[in-house]
Chain A
Amino acid sequence: MTPSATTAITRLDDASLAALVGKPALENLKRRTRGGQSGLKGLRFEHLFGAHRIARLIQKLNESGTDAVVEWQSDGFVDDFVVRRDEQSSFKGYQLKNAQHVSWTAGTPSIETDFALQWKVSQAEGYSNVRLRLVCSNPELATALAGSVPASLSAYSRAFFFPHGPPLLEMLEAHTWMAEDFAFLSKHAAPTRVDIGQVACVLMGAWDGLSPRARVSEVWSKARDMSPTLLRSMRTDEDARRQLIGPFREVLDGLPDFEYVIVRGFLKWTAMSGSTAGVLSYDCFSDRFRDLQQHIVRLQPKSFEDIEGALA
């Protein structure tokens, strides 16, 4: 057994697993996990689902400070995506099904069997709050599965729909709940669908780079490192405004036909009767922003055109 560093959660080794679920189930699990080692690349359903869960978890991290570990194919019976909060003894496992025919009971082993085994293993590992989810990309099928959860699993299992197939922009238009979850992370207060899609892409890229296991905070950091220009700061705008030095503010305030505002940690500007606009590609807490302030103060510009090139 491998004890967790922080809590009473203990990952079971093979001998303990065999004793718990039986040797045939363990061998079946080993076969499946070997098949799942090909990584995330190219698996858009899994990518988007993972990125969307992570987007929600980042929001939770921001609101409550609660971090979590996310895993892809974590050697479990329900492991397409896993969220562990060992400190809270919480385990949430998702099984993703991108198929037209899915049943709780068909197949060997059935999803019902996998869910029951996962619950057993997670309980034995020390998780007191175990929740398992069957995620289906067919909306009608997802509804049917949600309404037919086997009684033996119903205390900890649910089924729900998550889309797959159409272009990302179309999905974001059709499923506003998804768009809103990604939009929260955009540097734009009112992001377009393109902006939102780019947030999703960067999260998918960051998760792909860190998978199969990472803390949510690590995925967020990597995503922001990959693209400082897309993702918001989690610090307050008041805090961001405090980063603006007096002489810099004076210069900007004195420019004719130029307006600026701080949004989600970024300086957003509009000039020349609104014809030219942008949001800086780095936030107000960055070294680049500090350098920009010094540059513009030195420049002592008299018009927007004098600083236009620097606003990038």
Chain B
Amino acid sequence: MRTFTVFASGEAREQLAILVDQNASASAYQDAMTSLGRQLATQVVAKIPSIKLSTVCVACTVEDADYLARGLLEGLTETGVDAARLKLVCFWNERVRRFNGDAHDSFDVAPIIKQYREEVDISNAVVVVVKSIISGACVVKTNLATLIDQVLPQRVVVAAPVMLAGADGRLAAEFPSSTAGRFEYFTFAIDTDRDQDDNVIPGIGGSVYKRLGFEDKSSYVPELVKQRRRGLAHA
């Protein structure tokens, strides 16, 4: 069952409908993700206006970089966040699942095999972790914990178009309460069900890799990373 949150505008619901439409093309799916990223940014800025004056570190996974994270970055600048204060961290994660095929995911891990990281002082930043969907929270936990391993940021925003019910609690349970207490969640829809392949239903319409048209995410280098790296080289 799906429940829309207070952040879900009519436009967001339309884009979520595109994600779950199995006939939607890869490019329509990509556009919908980008739009949802932009709308997440709008909601974050509306709820946390002080973010406009902050350094913002956006952390994403490789598969989300070119669409959801790009939309979020664009949305943040469009709503007043200084582009020079926007920093990007992109992670390439692997998945190791101990209990394939059953509901136990206690030993799931998502090691980071490479990362692109722009220089940022995390202790003086608002960290925004963005992911297309959060269910077990394993990847988000890994990436967030890696970012804040030594220092705590001012605020931590966890943003995803869709979350599985209880994902916020699962994520918080992995951190000391003093850290988890800083987490602020932004999502448009909360789903309660999974299919036999562990995909959230309706979620984001299945595997984000397949829907976005990825062949091999570990060898993929997002255009966003390439562009920003070129920008840094010329700065």
Minimum CB distance partner of A312 in chain B:
B218
Q: Is the CB of B106 within 8 A of A275?
A: no
Q: Which residues of B contact A278 (CB under 8 A)?
A: 92, 112-115
Contact (A169, B175) CB under 8 Å given A198-B111, A202-B109: yes
Known interface pairs A230-B96, A309-B220, A312-B92. Does A41 touch B104 (Cβ–Cβ under 8 Å)? Answer: yes
Contact present for B175 and A167 (CB under 8 Å): yes
What separation, in Å, do the CA atoms of A44 and B104 have in the docked complex?
Answer: 12
Distance between Cα atoms of A240 and B27 in the complex (Å): 44
Closest to B62 in A: A312
* B221 CB–A CB distance under 8 Å: yes
Q: How far is B99's CA from A34's CA once the two chains are assembled, in angstroms?
A: 25
Whether B98 pairs with A208 at a CB distance below 8 angstroms is yes
Of the stretches B31-39, B72-80, B141-149, B202-210, the one at the interface is B141-149
Q: Does B176 contact A (CB under 8 A)?
A: yes
Chain A, Cβ-Cβ closest to B219:
A309
Contact A201 B113 (CB under 8 A): no
Q: Point out the residues of chain A lying under 8 angstroms from B92, CB to CB.
A: 278, 312
A279 interface residue (CB < 8 Å to B): yes
Inter-chain contacts of B108 with A (CB < 8 A)? 201
Please tell me if A18 contacts chain B, counting CB pairs below 8 Å.
no
Beta-carbon contacts under 8 Å, A83-102 to B: none
Q: How far is the CA of A230 from the CA of B108 in the complex (A)?
A: 13
What's the minimum C-beta distance from A31 to chain B, rounded to whole angstroms?
28
* A170-B176, A205-B98, A281-B94 as given contacts; A229 in contact with B111, CB under 8 Å: yes
Mark A251-289 against chain B: 1 for CB-CB distance below 8 A, else 0.
000000000000000000000110111111100000000
Bound-state Cα–Cα, A285 to B112, Å:
21
Q: Which residues of A contact B113 (CB under 8 A)?
A: 229, 278-281, 312
Q: Say yes or no: A277 contacts B145, CB within 8 Å.
A: no
Instruction: Name A279's closest neighbour in chain B (CB-CB).
Output: B113
Within 8 A of B (CB), among A233-260: none
Chain A residues contacting B111 (CB-CB under 8 Å) are: 195, 198, 227, 229-230, 281
Residues of B within 8 A of A299 (CB): none
Answer whether residue A70 sits at the interface, using C-beta atoms and an 8 A cutoff: no
**Which of the residues A194, A205, A276, A312 comes within 8 Å of B149, measured between beta carbons?**
A194
Given A170-B176, A202-B107, residue A276 in contact with residue B114 (CB < 8 A): yes
B87 smallest CB distance to A (angstroms): 11
> Any chain A CB within 8 A of the CB of B117?
yes
Is B183 part of the binding interface, using a Cβ–Cβ cutoff of 8 Å? no
Q: Report the interface size class on chain B.
A: 35 or more
Distance between Cα atoms of A38 and B233 in the complex (Å): 58
Q: Which residues of B contact A229 (CB under 8 A)?
A: 94, 96, 111, 113
Quick check: is A5 within 8 A (CB to CB) of the other chain?
no
B98 & A226 in contact (Cβ 8 Å cutoff): yes
A63 to B8, CA, bound (A): 58
* A311 and B114 contact, Cβ closer than 8 Å, known pairs A194-B142, A227-B96, A276-B229: yes
Chain A residues within an 8 Å CB radius of B229: 272, 275-276
Contact of A192 (CB < 8 Å), options: B114, B146, B220: B146
Which of B96, B146, B174, B220 neighbours the largest number of chain A CB atoms within 10 Å of its CB? B96
Binary B-proximity of A196-236 (CB < 8 A = 1, otherwise 0): 01100110110011000000000000000011011000000
Let me know if B176 and A169 touch, CB within 8 A. Answer: yes
> Which A residues lie within 8 Å of B225 (CB)?
276
Interchain CB contact under 8 A, A193 and B149: yes
Confirm or deny: B118 has a beta carbon within 8 angstroms of a beta carbon on chain A.
yes
For A162-190 the 0/1 string (1 means CB < 8 A from B) is: 00001111100100000000000000000
Beta-carbon contact of A277 and B115 below 8 Å: yes
Interface centre among B104, B106, B115, B219 (most CB of A within 10 A): B106
Residues from chain B with a CB closer than 8 A to the CB of A197 are: 109, 145
**New A-B contacts (5) at CB < 8 Å, excluding given A41-B104, A312-B113:** A167-B174, A168-B174, A201-B106, A204-B106, A276-B115
Interface, chain B (partner A; CB < 8 A): 92, 94, 96, 98-99, 104, 106-109, 111-119, 142, 145-146, 149, 173-176, 218-221, 225-226, 229, 232-233
Interchain Cβ contacts under 8 Å between A and B, 26 examples = A41-B104, A167-B175, A194-B146, A197-B109, A198-B109, A205-B96, A205-B98, A205-B107, A226-B96, A229-B94, A229-B111, A230-B109, A273-B233, A275-B119, A275-B229, A275-B232, A277-B115, A278-B114, A278-B115, A281-B94, A281-B113, A305-B221, A305-B226, A309-B219, A312-B92, A312-B114
**Which 8 interchain pairs have the tightest Cβ spacing?**
A278-B114, A205-B98, A205-B107, A312-B218, A309-B219, A198-B109, A227-B96, A194-B145
